[in-house]
Amino acid sequence: MDHQPKFFENLSGSGKAIGVLTSGGDAQGMNAAVRAVVRMGIYVKAKVYFIYEGYQGMVDGGDNIVEVSWESVSSILQIGGTVIGSARCKAFRTRAGRLQAAYNLVRRGITNLCVIGGDGSLTGANLFREEWSGLLEELAQKGKIDEEAVKKYAYLNIVGMVGSIDNDFCGTDMTIGTDSALHRIIEVVDAIMTTAQSHQRTFVLEVMGRHCGYLALVSALACGADWVFIPEYPPEEGWEDTMCVKLSENRARKKRLNIIIVAEGAIDCHNKPITSEKVKDLVVQRLGFDTRVTILGHVQRGGTPSAFDRILASRMGVEAVLALLEGTPDTPACVVSLSGNQSVRLPLMECVQMTQAVQKAMDEGRFDDAVRLRGRSFENNLNTYKLLSQKKPDAELPKSNFNVAVLNVGAPAAGMNAAVRSAVRVGITEGHKMFAVIDGFEGFAKGKIKEINWGDVGGWTGQGGSILGTKRTLPGKFLEKIAEQMRTNNINALMVIGGFEAYLGLLELSAAREKYDEFCVPMVMVPATVSNNVPGSDFSIGADTALNTITDTCDRIKQSASGTKRRVFIIETMGGYCGYLANMGALAAGADAAYIFEEQFDIRELQANVEHLTEKMKTSIQRGLVLRNENCNENYTTDFIYQLYSEEGKGVFDCRKNVLGHMQQGGAPSPFDRNFGTKISAKAMQWISKKLTETYRKEEGKVFANTEDSVCLLGMRRRNLVFQPVTELKKETDFVHRIPMEQWWLKLRPLMKILAKYKTSYDVSDSGQLEHVAMHSPKEAETGAI
């Protein structure tokens, strides 16, 4: 970055008062957002107030508006719903109600509001802001406040955060609560799949989403459902026949179960509702299949927030406070939101108008527009689902005469199987013959390679580990044999799904092209490793699942201390030299410190941490959590830190240590990893097809690719998916420690420290500019966004 970093130290909140409220339907992660707003507000020396029961509390005043302290938000990070309550409020819809609310705020000097809720709540907040000066004048006329107060509190600043499990708000990739709701849905689907398999049943699952099909679509993509009904993309005329034909074909292919997902707001192309009961009756009448309906209902709103939602909400909460501090009378009300992995600020009303435009498009039957208005991410999900869910009859498939091999390399990571399934199915759709290599490069050298078909990868999305088998062995010592296998099986392209070893492997293969023509074929790598240490990508498949495992375990460990007096836990995470898991795990679990290799520390820092915890234990907070990356320092081992803390904390707190180990690599993949794996892999396969066509030499009848850009890594960079030649990534890699030289998440480190009450400096250069909601072209959905 060539700009001068801008730090928030010069943004002081002293003299300012911030009110935080949650409104509308609850969503998991709201508490994390509330906690971040309170702590960041107090950190910048502002006063922070809870407004209980949403707008109702603002109108009622009294005990509903309370100043809070740092400890008020301790231990709420892992609780679902909202601890400050949420209510629908009729009074606030009237001017008289808003007048009373304004009076209650002015009495406490609150002129900054942070509203966490859906589009209705945010629209209400904007109206309140526009009427503010009029309301104050009316209060002054009635003699309730004096003229000085009118001048002093002349304008109201509003920042919104979208808390909604439906992900129905335009302008943001993910709303707070969506990822957790997907976790609930996928847990249920995984459980239902085992019973459906036993009885050869068809299950119709109804998920939430009255006006938005996001949850239905993404869960269908994540579990490989046979059919999905969503409001934005109604099925074509005669869908009943098409669906029944598809279901019976699947049964004929020995598939023992069918899953159909219905969004509660699903409609047909005449805007008539499609209910789960209607779908069930249709299947029973036409096919006679044993069919059951499961309506998930409010389960989706409940439970503990996922790691993603906690981190998202914490980032948004801090960003919201910064936006309030920078607000002027001319700043429009804004929402803080997420684009790719970047926080952005968008004008609130632009987002609301676009969200309403989607509904209008659906009402008018312009369904293509509705899908496009939902944004790139939604459109991509839909296109990928259509690509993977239905196999075209063999007669309709193109014949490319190309053979493509898929292999897993490195340690197992949850989501690898979803990526393989996606690659195989997209490859078959593009007309290629797909081959699976068993046990990585080592298996390749031994000739463990077989053709793999559409049906062979059914049901793979929810399986953890690597079904194909994976090894860390590099191809360097087997080059001769691998080249021979590629010749024998006539392999024209390679897709490697794996971690740092996969990246090193592709570097070795591309270097061996001079000697072996067999390696002059398109090769692509999709990053999959729990460590998230692959250069060229901000995320890798498997890291989200590992992060959730760490977060869940930390929650349990923290709970185990609730009966004990004053205890500190030292927890060791995996990741090699990469501190991603330790750092993000600390942010999601509300830890006091995280020791990582990327940020060197010495005995003085360890000492300062112990003193910090000792101070903390004098308050009402009685437990501490410290995460340590396995390779952060060769001398300050987990045992050393444990012994140091035990000795220094004598008489104040006692200590326990946990090494999480291989549980971080196991388990069923999280919805994020299934989806990320599915989408990134589909895109990689389409790139392979394009490269094969470009590099095919007709006269010789073979593929010949020896340019640098024919060996690529597909990674997520900020807001886009990009193909990068592996040789170009060499200069970004620290090969000794197997990590990228620059890592985006290090910017979030100060966030963790601020929320744990450390003084630190936080570079806010990336935030602060108000962007506009962009309406993208259909072409854009194909490039880039996830």
Instruction: Tell me the C-alpha distance between 423 and 689, whole Å.
Output: 11
Phi then psi for residue 616, to 5 deg, are: -60, -40
Interatomic CA distance for residues 106 and 111, integer angstroms: 7
Six token digits for residue 310:
């906690």
Nearest 5°: phi and psi at 334? -125, 160
Measured distance CA(499)–CA(484) in Å, rounded:
25
Task: Write down how long the chain is.
Answer: 786
φ, ψ of residue 108 in degrees (nearest 5) = -105, 5
Tokens of 723: 């193909």
- Listed residue (229, 220, 230, 210) closest to 182, CA to CA: 220
Three-state SS at 655 = strand
Q: Specify whether the CB–CB gap between 186 and 299 falls below 8 A.
A: no
Q: Are 729 and 536 in contact (CB under 8 A)?
A: yes
Report residue 459: phi and psi, to 5°. Answer: 75, 10
Among candidates 59, 38, 9, which has minimal Cα distance to 114?
38
Residues 437, 502: Cα–Cα separation, whole Å: 14
DSSP string, 506-528: HHHHHHGGGT-GGG-S-EEEEEB
> Which residues, listed in sequence order, are joined to residue 595 by a DSSP beta bridge?
628
The CA distances from residue 171 to 123, 335, 361, 368, in Å, are: 15, 9, 17, 18
- From the list 26, 166, 168, 179, the catalytic residue is 166
CA distances from 102 to 124, 132, 346, 599 (A): 13, 7, 25, 47
Amino acid, single-letter form, for residue 121 = S
| DSSP annotation string for 122-174 | HHHHHHHHHHHHHHHHHHHHTTSS-HHHHHHT---EEEEEEB-TT---TT-S-
Sheet holding 334-339, edge to edge: 65-67, 47-51, 17-22, 112-117, 157-162, 334-339, 342-347
Longest Cα–Cα distance of the chain, Å, equals 92
Q: How many other CB atoms sit within 10 Å of the CB of residue 12?
A: 12
Within 8 A by CB and 6+ apart from 355, the residues are: 119, 168, 169, 170, 171
Residue 241 annotated as catalytic: no
| Torsion-angle region of 62 (φ positive above 0: left; ψ -120 to 50: alpha; else: beta) | left
Residue type, 50: F
With a CB cutoff of 8 Å and minimum separation 6, the contacts of 689 are 400, 427, 430, 432
326: burial class by Cβ within 10 Å (0-12, 13-18, 19+)?
middle
Q: Which of 730, 733, 687 is nearest to 710 (CA)?
A: 687
**Spatial distance between the Cα atoms of 313 and 77, rounded to a whole number of angstroms:** 10
DSSP assignments along 346-362, one per residue:
EEHHHHHHHHHHHHHHH
Residue 747 DSSP code: G
* CA distances to 187, 199, 272, 292 from 295, in Å: 14, 20, 20, 10
Catalytic residues: 166
